[in-house]
Structure 1
Amino acid sequence: MPETTRELLTSGGWKELAFGPFRDDVTIHWIRSFEDDQPGVALLKYEAGASVPRHRHEGLETILVLDGVQSDEAGDYGRGSYIVNAPGTEHSVWSETGCVVLIQWDRPVKILE
C-alpha cells in the first residue's frame, strides 16, 4: 500500500476518496482489486442501516474498522476493532449507525441468500 494511502486511512482522509456501488447502501473504494491470485483490498462504506447478506468466506478475510460500528452475529465492532474471519466461516454483516472499514479478502466471498 503506498504511503499516501496509509496516511489517508489513518488521518480520516478516506472521506475525500471516490466510492462506487457495491451493494445496497454499501459503497466501495478499491485499493487493490483481485488479480493474479492476489488478495483484494478495499474500503467499504456502510450507510446507517446497511447490511450484507449471509455469506461464506472462501479465503481469509481481515477487517479494520476505521469509523462507526460494524456488527455481525458475534457482536459489535467499533473504531479500531480488528476482525479476522477464517476460510469456511459464514455470517451476515450490518451497521445500524453506518461505518467505514478497511477490508482484505484472499478470495471473493460467496453470497448464500
Structure 2
Amino acid sequence: MPETTRELLTSSGWKDLPFNVFRDGVTIHWIKPFDGDSPGVALLKYAAGASVPRHRHEGLETILVLEGTQSDEAGDYAKGTYIVNAAGTEHSVWSDTGCVVLIQWDRPVTILEG
C-alpha cells in the first residue's frame, strides 16, 4: 500500500476520496483492484440501512471497521474491530447506522441471494 494511502487511512483523509456505486446503498473506493494473482483491497461505505445479501467467501476476507458499525448474523462490529471471514463461510452484511470499512478479499465472493 503506498505511503499516501496509509496516511489517508489513519488520518481520516479517506473521507475525501472518490467512491463509486458498488451495490444499492454501498459505495466503493478501490485501493487495489483484483488482478487475478493478488487480493483486492478497497474501502466500502455503507449508507444507514444498507446491506449486502447473503454471500459465500471463495477466499479469505479481512475487514477493519474505520467508522460506524457493521453487522452480520454473528454480531455487531464497531469502529476499530478487525473481522476475519474464512474461505467457505457465508453471511449477509448490513449497517443500521452506516459505516466505512477497509476490506481485503483474496477472491471475489459469490452472491447467494438478492
Counterpart of 1:26 in structure 2: which amino acid?
V
For 1:56 and 1:74, locate their aligned partners in 2 and report how far apart those are by CA, in whole Å. 15
For residue 46 of structure 1, report the CA deviation from its aligned partner.
0.1
> Secondary structure of 1:65's match?
strand
Counterpart of 2:21 in structure 1: which amino acid?
P
For residue 36 of structure 1, report the CA deviation from its aligned partner.
3.6
Identity level (%): 82
**In the alignment, what sits opposite 1:48?**
48
Matched, 1:67 2:62: no
For residue 37 of structure 1, report the CA deviation from its aligned partner.
1.3
> Secondary structure of 2:14's match?
helix
Where do 4+ consecutive residues of structure 1 move more than 2 Å? none
Matched, 1:112 2:83: no
For residue 87 of structure 1, report the CA deviation from its aligned partner.
0.1
Q: List runs of 5+ in structure 2 lacking aligned partners.
A: none
Counterpart of 2:28 in structure 1: which amino acid?
I
Q: List runs of 5+ in structure 1 lacking aligned partners.
A: none
Alignment of 1:32-43 (within 5 A): 32-43=32-43
Give the TM-score taking structure 1 as reference length: 0.99
Matched, 1:85 2:85: yes
1:23-72 Cα offsets, whole Å, 9 max, x none, are: 00000000000004110000000000000000000000000000000000
> Secondary structure of 1:7's match?
helix
